[in-house]
Structure 1
Amino acid sequence: MPGPPFPSRPPGGETAALVTQVVDELARRLAGQSVTAPEGPPDTADDARHYALVRLRVLAGVKQAVRNLEDQAAYAAAASGAGYPEIGRAVSMSRQGARRRWPGLVTSSTHHPAPHRPTPRSP
């Protein structure tokens, strides 16, 4: 039996805004820790460029980490009986998109569709 329905998008984008704020703060802190003081007189344009590139590298790492967590959640959902349509809806993509993203994720041993009830025959 499928679990309770969940909203396909957080109400008002509150979750996305909160995650953006937290990730931005994390990226700024990690970039600040990675940037060492330049030798010689500081050049503000070079310092700004260097900091922006370090922050970009940190954000690329965050994106990869989120993708890995998303993969783990998709595997857990499939292991719990979710099919490609449900997994696709959870990440705002089609069933086909989910199948392309995670090929072979849902197999007959992981997907437990609702039992088929035969339709009554006419006499």
Structure 2
Amino acid sequence: MTGTPFSPRMSQAETSALVTDAADRLVHTLADRVLRPQPGPEDEAGADRARALARLHVLANLEQAVHHLQYGAARAAAAAGAGYPQIGDASNMSRQGARRRWPGLVTNAMPHSPTRTITRSS
């Protein structure tokens, strides 16, 4: 059950660059929309500091959201029958890494597995 049931359309480096660019644009947009600059020094350094801190604040919230969404996606994959090897592959980590990050997500118990009884004669 190893491997992921999808094939990438671009290299890992290209995907990473695309995601980073999209995240950067999102962070700038959110920082401008949800945060109001505080009155302070009108110099350029003060304005740069305020913008950088606003982006950092949005990034901290984005990181929490990503962890939450990643757990939900991993849980949905497991519920749909994916094992730790597949979840690890999709998460760019090993099976063991996925198991450590999301313990108990995948159960190995098979609900209808027959049990074998061994009897001993005396």
TM-score, normalised by the number of residues in structure 1: 0.73
How many residues in Structure 1 have an aligned counterpart in Structure 2?
A: 109
Alignment CA distance shift 1:10-1:59 (3 Å): farther
% identical equivalent positions: 54
- For the pair 1:100 / 2:100, whether they are aligned, the reply is yes
Task: Supply the distance in 1 between the matched residues of 2:38 and 2:108 (Cα, whole angstroms).
Answer: 57
> SS of the counterpart of 2:82?
coil
> SS of the counterpart of 2:87?
helix
Partner of 1:116: none
> SS of the counterpart of 2:103?
coil
Matched-pair contact (CA < 8 Å) for 1:35–1:51:
no
- For the pair 1:17 / 2:17, whether they are aligned, the reply is yes
Letter in structure 1 aligned against 2:28: R
Alignment CA distance shift 1:4-1:38 (3 Å): closer
How far apart are 1:15 and its partner, in Å? 3.2
CA RMSD of superposed structures (Å): 2.7
How far apart are 1:36 and its partner, in Å? 2.3
Task: Supply the distance in 1 between the matched residues of 2:105 and 2:16 (Cα, whole angstroms).
Answer: 27
- For the pair 1:55 / 2:51, whether they are aligned, the reply is no
Task: Supply the distance in 2 between the matched residues of 1:17 and 1:35 (Cα, whole angstroms).
Answer: 29
- For the pair 1:78 / 2:78, whether they are aligned, the reply is yes
Of 79-88 and 10-19, more deviation after overlay is shown by 10-19
How far apart are 1:53 and its partner, in Å? 0.9
- Gapped runs of 5+ residues in structure 2? 112-122
Letter in structure 2 aligned against 1:86: Q
> SS of the counterpart of 1:11?
coil
CA deviation string 1:6-61 (max 9, x = no partner): 23x6523343333222221121122223132635x602111111210110110111
